Chains A and B, each alone.
Chain A
Amino acid sequence: IMCASAKYNTRGPALIPRMKTKHRIYYITLFSIVLLGLIATGMFQFWPHSIESSSDWTVEKRSVHDVPVVKLPADSPIPERGDLSCRMHTCFDVYRCGFNPKNKIKVYIYSLKKYVDEYGTLVSNTISREYNELLTAISDSEFYTDDVNRACLFVPSIDVLNQNALRIKETAQALAQLSRWDRGTNHLLFNMLPGGPPDYNTALDVPRDRALLAGGGFSTWTYRQGYDVSIPVYSPLSGEVDLPERGPGPRRYFILSSQMALHPEYRLELEALQAENGESVLILDKCTNLSDGVPAARKRCYKNQVFDYPQVLQESTFCVVLRGARLGQAVLSDVLQAGCVPVIIADSYILPFSEVLDWKRASVVIPEEKMLEMYSILQSIPQRQIEEMQRQARWFWEAYFRSMKAIALATLQIINDRIYPYAAISYEEWNDPPAVKWSSVSNPLFLPLIPPQSQGFTAVVLTYDRVESLFRVITEVSKVPSLSKLLVVWNNQNKNPPEDSLWPKIRVPLKVVRTAENKLSNRFFPYDEIETEAVLAIDDDIIMLTSDELQFGYEVWREFPDRLVGYPGRLHLWDHEMNKWKYESEWTNEVSMVLTGAAFYHKYFNYLYTYKMPGDIKNWVDAHMNCEDIAMNFLVANVTGKSVIKVTPRKKFKCPECTAIDGLSLDQTHMVERSECINKFASVFGTMPLKVVEHRADPVLYKDDFPEKLKSFPNIGSL
């Protein structure tokens, strides 16, 4: 919130200046300028026309063949060849992108033209189906702008996906005459099939000066790290064939090669591999005697057996992806789609989106020289890991390979991340499949730190009007050596807290915060007054805890600063009869929650509870005046994936969990309500995050046969 306001301040004064009584002339001038502007626009752009024309654009019924034709004179300029030393800070104009609150680059697409040379011959196909899909995707995305002046990145509509389908010199000339070309600065070209015979360059041969290249098939020598983007070669089969995701489990073949035009040398090595390892290796080739009408692209053969492609890929655990004339191969996309783990054998190849994707999790890269060792290398991979790689491969396809849209958006996102690195998408977001994102936790307090004892803790007492009991709690808690401050949250709006002179005199600062509403969540607000990391939440009637017990609790919290460390423990159980969760407060051998009537926790969780509690849980708690402690247990367990720590033996707590509704503690309705909370929260969280454990923490020498006076915490467990 603070940030938003700061942002607007930096944007200069508000657009409509406030009227001040002076400076009349200033306003009059402004007014007349506006009026003039109005007249001018009225004259030059008759309004019905302008609106029609812009809406016309969106629903336009036009054919590609109707686009304007541009004739390129033979002597029109040609850009310099690509500059291999280009990097974002040398060849890219960041000022065009500017600071914007959404941290999104703006991408402009040039309108489609048909380019012809002097003799009227077409320079290239106007646009391919894939490039049209790509541009449509950009246009529909958040990145798009139709305002060439606000654009940070320019995408020509000149289709260079396939170098073989264009005339190099003329295409370069077409690029050079784009209205904002400026040596290609901030221009992005998409190319999937670079190079051509005989040398098959690994980057697009069209001279393009400083333009960025999103290329399929870069080698480490042509790829400008941090400037270019390596993209996949799109496989049109992705759209044609529907291969449902296959679950884990054994597959018929261990290694499969499905590429058709392999170099004989590679094929020999593969066949050697097959000879050695028998039927678990399948080397397919093109079919020689297919009947007419059957697309050759969809069939593969081994001897006389005919296999459907790409379906056959699903029958194998590993699929070989060898380089061909080019490094980038469309088969990679098919293999990923089939959930087959690609074995990539293409030295120096820059894998698609390698800037952000961790290919080690989805593929096996083997140097060409070690091709013969492939079998033993693959055999050494643990089965569980293979299953994860299969899932990962499939996920890469779904997220980044399956359509031209996916490819386009991933490319733009990568460039966006470079320009706004502080808002970049994280490794996990790029790489974790949904199943992993769902089941993994990233603990916000992941660093193993034991906070210094000297910091102490802040006790936060939530109270309504039980002043006498409150004062006793304050007196008791103040005896704990590590207490550094006491905060009373006065939740009663109808009554003032007692006068200063009436409060107990204690050795640490005592602050009273008055709340605006009587809400249970007030107990978990991250008050600025809390200056320590450790918070002790304590009810105003918990007077049975000894100073040793509290001090010990604090020491335990220091060893587990990312957990709830509390005294009374509770358990959740699955009720098989009712088919739902049940709350349990009896003497059990297990715990999964601690009550926050007396519990230590990190102040960060106050922040989470107040601002990041999922769903309507917070309101629900405030409306029911119950279960704030269960909500806190859910929250902490969900973000950390860890159990609570119950400390010290069980005591007879008067009524630890129902301070708000006195006398109902053992009442059946109360238990029912608590059970309801658990079921409600489990459904909001979409899972049951609570962890059940069988242990509690005691001092090292608890109940040991040892002189009490030598123990650090002798007074533990007294009733």
Chain B
Amino acid sequence: MQTRKKYILLTFLASWLLLFFFGGDQLRRFAFFSGRKAEARRSWPRWTDRSLLKIFADPEELQRDGDPSLLSPRERRAAWLSVYRSSRCRMETCFNLSRCERHGFKVFTYPQERGQPVSETYGKILSSIERSRYHTLKPEEACLFILSIDTLDRDHLSGQYVQNVDEKIRGFPLWNGGRNHLIFNLYSGTWPSYTGELGFDTGQAILAKASFDTRSFRPGFDVSIPLFPKEHPQRGGDRGWLYQESVPPKKKYLLVFKGKRYLTGIGSGTRNALHHIHNGKDIISLTTCKHGKDWEKHKDTRCDKDNVDYERFDYQELLHNSTFCIVPRGRRLGSFRFLEALQAACIPVLLSDGWELPFAEAIDWGKAAVVGSERLLLQIPSAVRCIHPERVLALQQQTQFLWDSYFSSVDKIVHTTLEIIKDRLSPHRSRSRFLWNVLPGGLLVLPDFSTHLGDFPFYYLHHGYSPSKKFTAFIRVVSQAGSLSQPILRLIQAVSGSQYCAQIVVLWSCEKPPPPSGKWPQTSVPLTIIQGRRKLSDRFFPFGAIQTDAVLSLDEDTSLSTSEVDFAFSVWCSFPERIVGFPTQSHFWDAEQGRWGYTSKWTNELSIVLTAAAFYHRYYHSLFTEYLPAGLRELVDGLAACEDILMNVLVAAVTKLPPIKVTQRKQHKEGVAQQAECSDGAAGTPPPGQRSPSAPHPAAAREEGTDGSRRLSQRQDCLNQLADWFGYMPLVSSQLRLDPVLFKDQVSVLRKKYPSLEKP
């Protein structure tokens, strides 16, 4: 470098330095030395007389905040009823809580009227409600009413728009100004302003509406629901697309958008700007001008090139291969894109100012989405780049959890809406926000069972709880020949011998009365006998007598040793949310017949643990009885051997995990033939000899008999009906069995804790 230039550089630097050292505050604040700046900044003065300052309110004034107003509390509440109506509705003022007290939370759907066809989507919503456990046919029992008029599409330009709703509603004797009504809506308003207007007077009805605007949303009263397409499945629903959890996320694109660009009108501001962030590499933002009939009229200079680029990428491909997806507002605030991104585990980046997010009363969207601001679109790329890989992984997983828990089917969307409303009715028996946002999700957690997290099998790790260290042996007796049989006596002895056994409960499901207490064996633990109602589903009733977290469910003819029980219980303590048991069976897809197959043969896999000998959490009794709709339990009661499959299906649907098989001594069950069937067996009671096929005998041999094959086909039917009911097959297969650490190892038996498990 030439000396002269060096000189220039030097002077230049020197003058900068000078400027910084001697410059005024304004200049020094310019950026470089933030540390220095902090020292010199002017903070709030430490007043010399600050301790003498007056207190903001006199302590007495604070404590004696009396209510001298003219109205008494009761009068004030009455006055509210007339003041806070329609747009200012709240549960306190527009909802009659007393209707829900007598019969609980019951929902009545208006009967369909002839000549009033409803859209496919509204039909699904209505049938979701009818499938729910809250549905009632009696309006006098109901707490919540749902109209039979299709109110989903209130865009009067649409073909689905129903005319004269006001008039029809006025004709309903139950309408009562909309009190205790719930109105579903997906589209409201129309070109050009797309306001939230529904085109009829909703009165005091609760709105469950998509694209809710925070300003018209009545907090704690309305429910914001997601926009979903008419193809959305009624039940079950597809799983999310995330099957790999990698850090850093191994996706081709960071951020994508592909959609329409509105050239004019509402929402065009954001959509028009989206192309700015396109970089052609990891950020793909494509817009097309083609939409509507007369787009060419408003066409601008970008349009032609944009339209060409737009065709080069496939929307589905982008969705699958991007970490973040921009979800901008459309004409309305919500869009289909939102659920599509959620399912695809493409973290939604929301650009829809003022949108009351779906179920935001329950769902913490910050855990699954990036809530951006339309005004700060250009900051989005750098903002998402700065999100830590671990956070990205957590966001991705949360999208999948939320999708699967609340959005993947119409059933889930509708049931979530109902549960949110139900929770408001008795705030002290409702789900905390925590419950809604961790697995397995709010729908599967019944606040009526308990409001304490430690009572559920799902939160042990979250709060450092552990399940109670004892179990309840729960033996079902269906057969009886005058006195207690040998197997059940042996079973009681073996189970009560376990140091972890807290109590034995016998469910006596037989018409004959149980033997007097003197006939029962003396045990070191309390023994309780419950007279059952002789229904198959009875064995999973949440009996108050069961007081431990763990239940060891047994059949009277099950044969187990104390060490088998001990070991299985120690395994259950590690997997308290699963079924842990001995004999297992499995399901498979029978491609030839196009249905689910069921086998009790020895296989290398298992997906069902028979409840004839299994540990599980007592909460599953409550889920079985309270959560499953009555129809499903009736189905089970009608079939011969289905209730344990339903239990397995239920637990698998909750956990998404397979059950666990543990080591079992040979000879699981003894002479089945000696048992006499319960006389006058109820219609559903199965012949006990065929209950619980045991694994040790090669099942092929067992099922040769006609009884065996009839039973098998019944179970297969059951499995298929359940899969149909759930909308998918929840069962998951496992290839492993858990054995004691030294099981059959070549080491002295003296060293082994469970040597007896190895005896033939």
Contact = CB atoms under 8 A, between A and B. Distances in A.
B657 to A, nearest CB: 5
B469 interface: no
Contact of A324 (B8, B65, B393): B65
Interface stretch (B429-437, B515-523, B619-627): B429-437
Interface residues of A, number: 188
A421 B246 CA distance: 24
Given A261-B65, A325-B67, A431-B434, A132 B50 contact: yes
A452 B67 contact: no
A712 B66 CA distance: 77
B394 interface: yes
B651 to A, nearest CB: 12
Contact of B245 (A140, A369, A602, A694): A602
A79 B422 CA distance: 42
A7 B242 CA distance: 29
B7 to A, nearest CB: 11
Interface in B367-392: 367, 370-376, 379, 382-387, 389-390
A622 interface: no
Contact of A146 (B41, B397, B438): B41
Interface stretch (B456-464, B478-486, B535-543): B456-464
B348 to A, nearest CB: 12
Given A146-B43, A447-B401, A607-B247, A38 B15 contact: yes
A220 interface: yes
A90 B214 CA distance: 11
A220 B245 contact: no
B1 A19 contact: yes
Given A427-B364, A436-B463, A6 B385 contact: yes
A414 B217 CA distance: 21
B738 A136 contact: no
Interface in A1-35: 2-3, 6-7, 10, 15-16, 19, 21, 24, 27-28, 30-31, 34-35
A198 B69 contact: yes
A288 B207 CA distance: 52
Contacts of A47: 22, 24
Contacts, number: 443
Nearest to A343: B428
Interface stretch (B154-162, B285-293, B315-323, B599-607): B599-607
A47 B23 CA distance: 7
Contact of B455 (A366, A382, A444, A706): A382
B439 interface: yes
A537 interface: no
Interface stretch (B56-64, B114-122, B226-234, B495-503): B56-64
Given A347-B77, A694-B570, A711-B604, A112 B64 contact: no
B591 interface: no
Given A38-B18, A64-B50, A89-B373, A147 B741 contact: no
Contact of B42 (A7, A146, A422): A146
B521 to A, nearest CB: 29
B23 A198 contact: no
Contacts of A607: 247, 389
A526 B737 CA distance: 31
Given A159-B56, A712-B735, A448 B43 contact: no
A440 B463 contact: yes
Interface string B380-414: 00111111011001100100110000000000000
Interface stretch (A49-57, A511-519, A577-585, A656-664): A49-57
Contacts of B751: 587, 589
Nearest to A295: B59
Contact of B67 (A221, A324, A649): A324
Interface stretch (B25-33, B105-113, B302-310, B685-693): B25-33
Contact of B740 (A38, A286, A451, A695): A695
B23 A41 contact: yes
A360 B385 contact: no
B539 to A, nearest CB: 26
B745 A698 contact: no
Given A94-B375, A587-B747, A712-B604, A236 B434 contact: no
A702 B430 contact: no
| Size class of the contact patch on chain B | 35 or more
Nearest to A559: B734
Contacts of B680: none
A301 B23 CA distance: 66
B26 to A, nearest CB: 8
B208 to A, nearest CB: 18
Given A347-B77, A421-B366, A587-B745, A34 B12 contact: yes
B742 interface: yes
Contacts of A145: 41
A700 B53 contact: no
Interface stretch (B84-92, B174-182, B701-709): B84-92
A147 B29 contact: yes
A302 interface: no
Interface string A104-135: 00000100100000000000010111111001
Nearest to A19: B9
Nearest to A646: B741
Contact of A265 (B53, B72, B571): B72
B100 interface: no
B638 interface: no
B430 A446 contact: no
Contacts of A640: 461
Contacts of B444: none
A330 interface: yes
Residue in B382, B431, B740 whose Cβ sees the most chain A Cβ within 10 Å: B382
A296 B5 CA distance: 81
A38 B55 contact: no
A400 B110 CA distance: 48
Interface string A673-698: 00000000000000000010111111
B92 A89 contact: no
A458 interface: no
Contacts of B245: 445, 447, 449, 451, 533, 561, 602, 604
A197 B65 CA distance: 11
A62 interface: yes
A193 interface: yes
A44 interface: yes
B299 interface: no
Interface in A368-403: 368-369, 377, 380-382, 384-385, 388
Contact of B8 (A27, A38, A59, A602): A27
Interface in B718-751: 732, 734-747, 751
B219 A266 contact: no
A171 B478 CA distance: 81
A366 B428 contact: yes
A505 interface: no
A547 to B, nearest CB: 16
Nearest to B571: A695
Contacts of B740: 589, 694-696
B73 A360 contact: no
A62 B48 contact: yes
B358 interface: no
A590 interface: yes
Contacts of B42: 54, 57-58, 146
Given A94-B376, A589-B742, 18 more contacts: A38-B19, A64-B47, A99-B379, A129-B50, A136-B44, A165-B56, A192-B57, A225-B214, A236-B62, A297-B63, A381-B451, A426-B366, A427-B437, A445-B393, A695-B738, A696-B741, A698-B736, A713-B604
Which 4 pairs, one residue from A and one from B, show the smallest C-beta to C-beta distance?
A439-B464, A261-B66, A139-B44, A324-B65
28 contacts: A37-B19, A38-B18, A50-B24, A54-B40, A87-B214, A99-B383, A125-B54, A129-B50, A162-B57, A200-B69, A221-B90, A225-B214, A261-B67, A262-B66, A325-B67, A326-B65, A330-B65, A348-B80, A365-B428, A385-B450, A447-B400, A448-B655, A526-B247, A559-B734, A589-B754, A590-B741, A693-B570, A710-B604
